[in-house]
Amino acid sequence: HMSPPAFRYQLIQKARAANKRIVLPEGDEPRTMRAAVICTQKGIARCVLLGNRKVILSVAESLGIELPPGLEILEPNQIAERYVAPMVELRKSKGMTSGQALNALEDTVVLGTMMLAVDEVDGLVSGAVHTTASTVRPALQLIKTAPGSTIVSSCFFMLMPEQVLVYADCAVNPDPTAKELAEIAKQSADSALSFGIDPKVAMISYSTGVSGSGDDVEKVRAATKLARDQWPELVIDGPMQYDAATVREVAAQKAPGSAVAGQATVFVFPDLNTGNTTYKAVQRSANVVSVGPMLQGLRKPVNDLSRGALVDDIVFTIALTAIQAEAMAQA
């Protein structure tokens, strides 16, 4: 089992070793600035704050923090123009003009995403003030899916008392098809592996094995079969109820002989209603720290913050992003 303290420790160690450059489009946002200072001081990542230098320096002064010399500040209006041509090129199938690109680049999330698209940075973290959609959409449009992926999904690392579990997709795809659900299972297993968690994938439903029927169960059954056919090495089972996935006694009754039941580490939910509700229920009612959502299936790493994110949450998200960048570079 990966314990929460071990998870936190390896997050910082792996990020340090990766030594990545991460752009922070909300460069004058106080929690983001504090996180960038911590990441710079601890060597977790080389951070770039996008924002007006005077504003950033005055925010720093009012917060009583000193910006370390390694922490870079880039002024959006001094650099935006150089991304116009590459952006027009990336969006030419949509008929984007230079004027439209220049307008779009006024949004620092779009600007940061273009820096990532042209490889000037290794990853992007935003969302302390922006919505999920405004952080994720530029990535979907400009970074696009990784080779071998057809959709972008997300996962959370749930820091349970005894071990870290992966939940997916709790943030992006409202109603994935069976084929998409199979892909989400594979992406989530890969994410688990990159963070030292042995993936045993439970495809969650309101029915276990062959006991129930209905369109929603059939979708999960079909997704499980598709995933098995496409990735024979994947340890996966479903459809499976949450209790059968996680409690050994229930597993012994409902799914005897399953390699996943009673010991699942990766939980793939059938749709966003289930996934988002379950992660929030566990997080809030059981008081569990959840790290994420971490986007998976993108060509380069972009991660969204919750608007309620604390400074430590942002530090962890920057570390996650750096580790993803390294994993993608190795792939």
Q: Which residues bind ligand ACO (CB under 6 A)?
A: 132-133, 136-137, 140-141, 145, 151-152, 171-174, 276, 293, 306
Residue whose beta carbon is closest to ligand ACO: 140
In angstroms, give the least distance from the CB of 145 to ligand ACO: 5
> Which residue lies nearer to ligand ACO by CB, 213 or 277?
277
In angstroms, give the least distance from the CB of 150 to ligand ACO: 7
> Which residue lies nearer to ligand ACO by CB, 44 or 171?
171
In angstroms, give the least distance from the CB of 293 to ligand ACO: 5
- Do the beta carbons of residue 303 and residue 156 sit within 8 Å? no
> Which residue lies nearer to ligand ACO by CB, 49 or 151?
151
> Which residue lies nearer to ligand ACO by CB, 27 or 293?
293
Element containing residue 96 per DSSP (H, E): none
- Do the beta carbons of residue 71 and residue 49 sit within 8 Å? yes
> Which residue lies nearer to ligand ACO by CB, 99 or 174?
174
In angstroms, give the least distance from the CB of 294 to ligand ACO: 11
Which parts of the chain fold into alpha helices (H)?
4-18, 30-42, 53-63, 76-79, 84-90, 98-104, 108-117, 132-142, 178-194, 215-230, 242-246, 248-254, 272-285, 311-330
Q: CA 156, CA 317: separation in Å to the nearest integer?
A: 11
Handedness of CA 39, 156, 264, 3 (dihedral sign): positive
In angstroms, give the least distance from the CB of 85 to ligand ACO: 18
Residue 298: DSSP 8-state: B
